[in-house]
Amino acid sequence: MEVNKMNDIDNNDLPIIRVAGVPEHFNEPWRIGLEKNLFKNEGIDIEWYSVKEGTGSMINKLKSNEVDVIVALTEGLINDIANGSDIRLLGTYVQSPLVWSVSTGANSIYNSIEDLKGEKFGISRYQSGSHLMSCVLANQYGWKQSDLEFIVCHNFDNLRKSVNDNTTAAFIWEYFMQKPYYDKGEIRRIGQIITPWPCFMIASTTHLISKHLNDIKKMFIALEKACLLFQTNSIDSIKRISINYGLNEEDAKAWFDKVIITPTNTISESTIETTLDALKTAHLLNNENAISDPIRFIDTRFTKLTVDIKSMRLYNKPELLITLRNNLRVAGISKGPISYIDLLPYDQNHYYGTQVLDLAVNELKLNQYDQNSNWFIQIGSNLAGCARYLAGKYQLKVLAIELQNDLSQTASELTERCRLSNYVHHIAGNFLNVAEHLQENFYYGILSWITILHFNQNERIRLIDQSYRLLKENGFFYLEDFIRIGNISYDESIILEHDLYYLKTKMASTTTGKIAEFRRLLSRAHSVLVLTGAGISAESGIPTFRGAGGLWRQYRATDLATATAFSRSPSLVWEFYHYRRELVRTKQPNKAHIALAEAEANFEKKGKRFNVITQNVDGLHRRAGTKNLIEMHGHLHYTYIFVKHNYFFYINSGNLFMVQCTSCGFIEENNSSPICESLRNRGLPDENGPDIDENDLPRCRKCKCLVRPHIVWFGERIWDDVLETIEKEIQLCDLFLVVGTSSVVYPAAGYASILAQKNIPIAEVNVETTPSTSIATYHFHGPAAQLLPQLLLSNINDE
């Protein structure tokens, strides 16, 4: 076991937490946190232990008190807790699933997973991920556990040797850790299995949690910051992964683009239930007294259990794949090329089978359109039987989106075997998230069988919004929820009346009542706190940092708004900010900005508090007249203090029109247009000119050195004076209003949760649902410029 203490700051007074994890790319954010002293900044010290033997070894070290916290595979942790150990889950670390690649020797006789039945599998140790997932794989393929024999090889190096000296037939390990060895021809990939759950959790024992509870909270805060640095500095992170783990940059980028590392103290019930079902079905969890209640797997002093759509039994059916594999094997079509027609008895897992698909094609006349240029989306594609049928019979091109990773993976394999990969593309994920990355105005139609009833009311609004954005002009959304053929029953009509008609009428009939209710609450409030994000400025025509407006030229704005990007190419970053400065000059505060300013004035007349926190740097709030404004990405006053080592600590208002010298630290407002002559007519999104010489970029008025925008960039620490002021307002707040923010960037994303825990009423105004929606007392769906005047004006007289 290798110990990494990467910090060079000596502080023996800090409490120490010993953390163990595998030496793999998933744990790179921990290294960043140590290098940047993020943990010490929160008042704790981390000793990092690299355990290459994996999850089983880490569990043993945790139980023997060799470490305090482990970052381990979900299935290994849940298996151990279910069998009665005192380990408890602290939170989710990697939200994305793990791609386990099945490997064999370079010259072995095995060419598919089907060839491995009855053969020897190499594992690092019993109860490790390589062992558990081998059992799950066997189960999915309908094998008996007695068909497997395991050889303990201890680590990845020995596993690779074992398949080449014929000690074992195959082993399972994470794909990208194996990719360099595939490229060198040392081992061969013959299949894969994807876990249908988040792949890494953070855990400890009940005793150690009691001992370190406050320090664990600090650890998560620092880890969140480290992960944010890792995600926002994508270019640097990809290079780190490439160098540290022997991947070429293309592979490192492919891994980086798919992985979701967002440490949180929440765990979904479905994660625990799905993993338990997989372990039981694979006969790995045969203990009659095994723990099954999800709440018993977490430590409720720190961790929260949540419910999501995957908690429905519909989304937790491991027997579906087992039945499919067995049926294909009995039919003699378990491997090799196959026709989509041969699959029809096994892959049509929806009401009324192909009959309902033919009906849709005929009614919509889909076979009359140019199949080469029109793509369709199927939401909830399951095993993609519908998509393959539409592609095979009617030559339609279908993007099949399925929430469950294991189903999507199997569906993709079947599509490839049917030679329909040019017609059917597969994506695993929640449509509401996947849609954000799809091309607007591109798809001719969206098809779905049994969709609406699986989305709650707020999610349905997003479903329709996203669908409308993706469809071409005159495109359609065709949906069926078990009612298309034949008369519906009374029970079904009640469901539809509640879930569909309710969707149309409830919003119209209750929004007015909710606004009146909110106004009464507002009139009784004494200290209102408002948080605004990019959405409110988007209504003034200013592009956001996310979504379709987040691209400038070929770059994501989040990649340019970093100190690393400025160091690498100050010319590029200044062109980007010059474009934004000139754009903002042409925009005006909208009715939402003005409503907030007027509400502030009304509250002040009554001697009450009304403060606005904004994540925006465009200055529109100030131009609208808001005075009690906290600009999170700047500072609060126009004074400065001299501190030692010739470093100037400035307290200032940060926005697009403030600049800071990179040498002497001098800060001033600069409203010149252009800010320097070399930037005149530069920065247009669709133009790429030569780099501007650094000497011709904006310079400091005092020392003549290069200046930068005076804004807190991604990866930079928000100034303490700003955070202290916000903390004070949170303590005083008795009503919180969240407007136009995605609620995904911390620390702002955490304010709603803090106030919800204090039972402070929360109202959200947004055109989409966000992580804050579920904890909001009120969610008002729509543009802020339309809703805020209704919510805020005349409120002070409603008493």
Q: Which residue has the higher pLDDT, 6 or 277?
A: 277
- Entry field: residues in the chain: 799
Instruction: List, in sequence order, every beta strand (DSSP E) within 269-391.
Output: 304-306, 375-379
Q: What is the DSSP string of 694-721?
A: GGGS-B-TTT--BEEE-S--TTSPPPHH
> What's the pLDDT score for residue 591?
93
- Averaged pLDDT of the chain: 82
Measured from the Cβ of residue 113, the count of other Cβ atoms closer than 10 Å reads: 23
The residue to which tokens 């609620």 are assigned: 743
- In this model, does residue 417 exceed pLDDT 90? yes
- The residues, any chain, with a CB within 8 Å of residue 94's CB and separated by 6 or more, are 26, 198, 199, 200, 259, 260, 261
CATH 3.30.1600.10 fits 545-586+657-710, yes or no: yes
For residues 608 and 602, what is the distance between their CA atoms, to the nearest angstrom?
A: 9
> What's the pLDDT score for residue 712?
81
Name the band, by pLDDT with cuts 50, 70 and 90, for residue 317.
Answer: low
- Measured torsion, CA atoms of residues 696, 649, 730, 598, in degrees rounded to the nearest 10: -50
For residues 538 and 559, what is the distance between their CA atoms, to the nearest angstrom?
A: 20
Strand 707-709 with 735-739, pairing: unpaired
Range of lowest pLDDT (15-19, 107-111, 371-375, 628-632):
371-375
Domain ranges of the chain: 2-93+199-265, 99-194, 336-480, 507-542+589-636+717-799, 545-586+657-710
> What's the pLDDT score for residue 454?
63
CB-based contact 698:574 (threshold 8 Å) = yes
For residues 499 and 73, what is the distance between their CA atoms, to the nearest angstrom?
A: 38
Give pLDDT tens digits for 544-600.
655 444 567 767 777 788 888 888 889 999 988 888 888 888 889 999 999 999 999
- In this model, does residue 8 exceed pLDDT 60? no
- In this model, does residue 460 exceed pLDDT 90? no
Nearest to 623 by CA among 653, 582, 594, 666: 594
Give pLDDT tens digits for 660-698.
898 888 888 888 888 899 988 888 877 777 889 999 999
Measured from the Cβ of residue 217, the count of other Cβ atoms closer than 10 Å reads: 15
Q: What is the mean pLDDT of residues 331-353?
A: 83
Give pLDDT tens digits for 117-142.
899 999 988 878 888 888 888 877 87
- In this model, does residue 455 exceed pLDDT 80? no
> What's the pLDDT score for residue 419?
95
> What's the pLDDT score for residue 754?
85
* The two domains 2-93+199-265 and 99-194 share their CATH topology (first three levels equal): yes
First-to-last C-alpha distance (Å) of the chain:
66
Peptide bond into 674 cis (omega under 30): yes
* Assigned CATH topology for domain 2-93+199-265: D-Maltodextrin-Binding Protein; domain 2 (3.40.190)
For residues 529 and 23, what is the distance between their CA atoms, to the nearest angstrom?
A: 44
CB-based contact 496:490 (threshold 8 Å) = no
Task: For residue 425, indicate whether it is catalytic.
Answer: no
Catalytic residue among 425, 454, 621, 633: 633
- The residues, any chain, with a CB within 8 Å of residue 614's CB and separated by 6 or more, are 531, 532, 533, 621, 629, 630, 631, 632
Q: What is the mean pLDDT of residues 468-495?
A: 61
The residue to which tokens 């995904």 are assigned: 744
| Token pair belonging to 452 | 């609406």
Name the band, by pLDDT with cuts 50, 70 and 90, for residue 447.
Answer: confident
| Token pair belonging to 29 | 């954010």
Q: What is the mean pLDDT of residues 749-764?
A: 87
Give pLDDT tens digits for 58-83.
999 999 999 999 999 999 999 999 99
Is the entire prediction scored with pTM above 0.85? no
| Token pair belonging to 68 | 């305090």
> What's the pLDDT score for residue 334?
86
SS3 630: strand
CATH 3.40.50.150 fits 336-480, yes or no: yes
SS3 726: helix
Assigned superfamily of 507-542+589-636+717-799: TPP-binding domain (3.40.50.1220)
Q: Which residue has the higher pLDDT, 315 or 529?
A: 529
The residue to which tokens 């013959």 are assigned: 190
Measured from the Cβ of residue 382, the count of other Cβ atoms closer than 10 Å reads: 23
Measured from the Cβ of residue 663, the count of other Cβ atoms closer than 10 Å reads: 13
Q: What are phi and psi of 300, to 5 degrees?
A: -70, -10
- Which of the following CATH numbers is that of domain 99-194: 3.40.190.10, 3.30.70.890, 3.40.50.2300, 3.30.450.20? 3.40.190.10
779 dihedral zone (left: phi>0; alpha: psi -120 to 50; beta): beta
